[in-house]
Chains A and B, each alone.
Chain A
Amino acid sequence: MALLEVSDLHVEFEVHGGWVQAVRGASFNVNEGETLAIVGESGCGKTVSVQSIMGLIQTPPGRITRGTAKLRGQNILGGQTADGREIRGVDIAMIFQDPMSSLNPTMTIGAQIAEPLIVHRGYSYRDAMRRAQELLEMTLIPDAASRAKEYPFEFSGGMLQRAMIAMAIACEPSVLIADEPTTALDVTIQSQILDLLVDLQGKNNMAIVLITHDLGVVAKIANDVAVMYAGEIVEHGSADDIFYRSAHPYTVGLKSAMPTNRPGSEQRLAPIAGVPPDLFDAPPGCGYAPRCPYAMDVCESTPPLDFGVGHEHQSRCWLHHEDCPQPAAEIHRA
């Protein structure tokens, strides 16, 4: 059994005049000590999905209409277990894209890292501050002792992200959700932060759910990948599956739209024409159909099912239906 299992998640938001179906049946798993990357572009629902696991969706205007999220078999949708124990921040922690707005500008970094220890683990103030300094050292912030007494505005972007990671791992969570943690950082710092996450994962046997739009980041640290489009997980499998045995036209399209660097080869970027659908008026069939070069009648009319295409590799695409005349292998381009 996977550590975290999200199944058939549906989330919608009320807007002026109706509801926007932000997540339409997303399912994904993370195993202990492994990294799952959820890849997608803006508006695909990846952030909303993890926010609903953490209970961060404001109701109103948001609403989880269906689905479960199980941590070690217990449903935790809404941030608490059935017996009310707080899991948010303790068992599952989250770090965000912009650390500056996620940290309290009027508290020292040390105090903020110590806070979850005091609140959830009952540490004394002194013990908590000491542990906070240890955590800062673990995240490779130089001169941790004096840094702990400083305020967020005195930190650079990369260091703030480290501080946020320190805060997140304070209670030794079993799952760390990282929502685009390096998108706002320079590439050299991004590399450092990703290396740090992998190291911490090894030390604490922590599972990581990484939200990103950068396939390079995915390739670097993900074990499993879930590709998200228009509120659905369109493909889910290991990193190798996704990159080398892509089974969904969107995944292929995404790869072709990113420059790869192979010496000697002349790459021709192939952008995906069109724009993602407006989820206010949710499309009746497959969300990708209007942009898909392989679209068929059934794609427009009926939402596709999840088809198994390999060992623990699934694709939500009609191309994999047994009656489909187009060979699915056609979509995989070398």
Chain B
Amino acid sequence: MSQPLIDIRNLTKHFQRGHQKIRAVDDVSLSIGIGEIVGLVGESGSGKSTLGRTLLGLDRKTSGEIFFKGSALPTVYRTGDFRRYARSMQMIFQDPYSSLNPRMTAGEIIGEALRLHSDFNKADIATRVEEWLVKVGLSIDHWGRYPHEFSGGQRQRIGIARALILEPEFVVCDEPISALDVSVQAQVVDLLAELKRSLSLTLLFIAHDLSMVRYVSDRMAVMYLGSLVEVGRSDRVFFDPKHPYTRLLIGSNPEPDPEQERSRERVSSIGEIPSQVDIPAGCRFANRCPHAMDVCHQVNPALQVVNAEADERLIACHLYP
């Protein structure tokens, strides 16, 4: 396999809140190939957003390495580092309400990237901003309007234009559609897919909507309490989940199809997602897992390749040695 675009090795991110250590991301390793869309799913407390932010340097990693095209990314990011990588990696943010500066016009927001990188002159900037306004499905006379005058979907488009105007290679999409209406979600997803094709982007698509992630991504990674529990091709993971947590997740995902829902077995899930502070020894899912064994409470299973020939699946579970 050719060199992955992003290679994450043993990435860990802890937050210190007083005496409590929150292990948001714990020893995560993942590779993302060029041109791939990797979906990252998980519920609250899974650490998926933190992973995305740490990847780009918005949060400082505690330990581990991240390789971009073979070279290691810095541990501490200074302004110079951000500038250097701005044209390689970008992020599309979740909340369309707080991700745009309410005092700047759409044109200013989109053009900011170009203004910060001095090799663009004014005329250049104006042209490109207009180009991108149209590319994301807005119109040129939206240039001078303020964020509060746009709908959620439109704001998200502005955010997309802002992130992509420098034509980065890798984009982290942090829950880009969660705050949008259903019909608008499809619009934005379509737009992202189209731009991905035309700009040859590699995406890390972080979301909690399983169906959407399955639709959008090539590969899917499932996170629970800071660790990856299953990684594999999206369709395969969705229709043949192997890890008990993945099974629970897929089983809980309601299908817009009454007959299918009626004929489904009720998935039993015990209890709530524990907090990230008190992570038990051994497998994190052990206290909720219907198949928990003794070893599960003692040893944390490593993410390993299972079934390499048919479909390469990575699973962290003692059921699959």
Contacts and interface: CB of A to CB of B under 8 A. Distances in A.
Contact of A258 (B182, B190, B266): B182
A29 to B, nearest CB: 19
Nearest to A44: B181
B189 interface: yes
Interface residues of A, number: 46
A218 B257 CA distance: 9
Given A158-B272, A188-B249, A191-B267, A255 B43 contact: no
B253 interface: yes
Contacts of A222: 258
B99 interface: no
Contacts of B273: 156, 186, 188-189
A275 B151 contact: yes
Interface stretch (B103-111, B209-217, B303-311, B312-320): B209-217
Contacts of B251: 191
A216 B235 contact: no
Contact of A269 (B215, B238, B272): B215
B256 A270 contact: no
Interface in A151-189: 156-159, 186-189
Nearest to B44: A186
B10 interface: no
A158 B45 CA distance: 14
B260 interface: yes
Contacts of A261: 211, 214, 238-239, 253, 255
Nearest to A291: B183
A259 interface: yes
B48 interface: no
A266 to B, nearest CB: 10
Given A41-B182, A188-B269, A254-B183, A260 B211 contact: yes
Interface of A: 41-42, 142, 156-159, 186-192, 194-195, 213-220, 222, 239-240, 243-244, 253-261, 263, 267, 269-273, 275
A257 B182 contact: yes
B31 interface: no
B186 interface: yes
Nearest to B266: A195
B187 interface: yes
A285 B232 CA distance: 49
Contact of B254 (A159, A219, A269, A271): A219
A191 B255 contact: no
A191 B269 contact: yes
Contacts of B208: 186-187
A257 B183 contact: yes
A271 B258 contact: no
27 contacts: A41-B181, A42-B181, A156-B273, A186-B273, A187-B208, A187-B210, A191-B251, A191-B252, A191-B269, A213-B181, A213-B182, A215-B182, A216-B211, A218-B256, A219-B256, A219-B257, A220-B254, A222-B258, A239-B258, A260-B211, A260-B257, A270-B186, A271-B187, A271-B189, A271-B190, A272-B186, A275-B184
Nearest to A189: B272
A216 B254 contact: yes
Contacts of A191: 251-252, 254, 267, 269
Nearest to B188: A271
Contacts of B261: 216, 219-220
A196 to B, nearest CB: 12
Contacts of A263: 235, 239
A269 B208 CA distance: 18
A253 B183 contact: yes
Interface in B143-182: 151, 153, 181-182
Nearest to B185: A257
A191 B255 CA distance: 12
Given A259-B212, A259-B215, A260-B257, A269 B252 contact: no
Contacts of B195: none
A219 B182 contact: no
B215 A267 contact: yes
A275 B184 CA distance: 8
Contacts of B254: 190-191, 194, 214, 216-217, 219-220
A314 to B, nearest CB: 19
B264 to A, nearest CB: 9
